[in-house]
């Protein structure tokens, strides 16, 4: 059977009028964007939740120490467990916890009196925000650093640290002792 010379044009015209697969084509074009939005929403939601948990953990750790007259190694271990419970269900394996007692002398020069940590390295020096410690006062500092690894790997965001620092003055004594 011989094709007429107008047959390809009629075939193209018929294809242009055919709208049976338009919805499937639109879905195929929109699906990657929807999947990316879904993954991004999950990642941002997890990161925001973890940021709130790290803030709550730092505030709680500083508050637990600031209420005491002195703390022991057992008290510190209990505080680490409390922080683990606050951050749950996220894994705390790579998280750094630090508790410090910072003391200002008569000239308001601040030094680290004692520090306890889980993970990370010991701090040689740390500064306080301006005006936080005046002469002969102490401040309890709790620093939590969580190394966040996205659920979907590096698809949308890369890994980064979420850090929060809480500062509180001792409530019942001038300076909390470490025993």
Put residue 58 in one of left, alpha, beta given phi > 0 → left and psi -120 to 50 → alpha. Answer: alpha
Q: Which residue has the tokens 């910072």?
A: 102
Give the rounded distance of the alpha carbon of 61 from its chain centre. 16
Q: Is the confidence at residue 126, as pLDDT, over 80?
A: yes
Q: For residue range 11-47, what is the model confidence (pLDDT) as tens digits? A: 878 877 777 778 888 899 999 999 989 988 988 999 9
Mean pLDDT score of the chain? 91
**What secondary structure letter does DSSP report for 123?**
-
Provide the angle, in degrees to the nearest 10, between the axes of the packed helices 22-66 and 73-87.
Answer: 160
Cα first-last separation, the chain: 101
Mean per-residue pLDDT, 105-132: 91
Q: Is the confidence at residue 1, as pLDDT, over 60?
A: no
- The residue among 60, 67, 72 whose CA lies nearest residue 173 is 67
pTM given for the model: 0.82
């Amino acid at each position: 059977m011989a094709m007429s010379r107008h047959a390809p044009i009629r075939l193209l015209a018929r294809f242009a009028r055919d709208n049976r697969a338009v919805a499937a084509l639109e879905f195929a074009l929109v699906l990657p964007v929807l999947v990316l939005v879904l993954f991004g929403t999950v990642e941002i939601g997890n990161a925001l939740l973890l940021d709130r948990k790290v803030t709550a953990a730092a505030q709680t750790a500083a508050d637990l120490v600031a209420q005491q007259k002195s703390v022991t190694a057992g008290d510190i271990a209990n505080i680490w467990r409390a922080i683990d419970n606050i951050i749950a269900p996220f894994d705390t394996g790579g998280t750094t916890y630090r508790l410090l007692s910072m003391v200002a002398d008569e000239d308001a020069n601040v030094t680290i009196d004692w520090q306890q940590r889980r993970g990370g390295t010991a701090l040689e020096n740390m500064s306080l925000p301006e005006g936080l410690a005046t002469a002969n006062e102490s401040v309890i500092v709790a620093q939590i650093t969580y190394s966040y690894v996205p659920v979907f790997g590096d698809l949308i965001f890369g890994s980064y640290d979420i850090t929060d620092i809480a500062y509180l003055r001792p409530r019942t004594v001038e300076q909390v002792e470490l025993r």
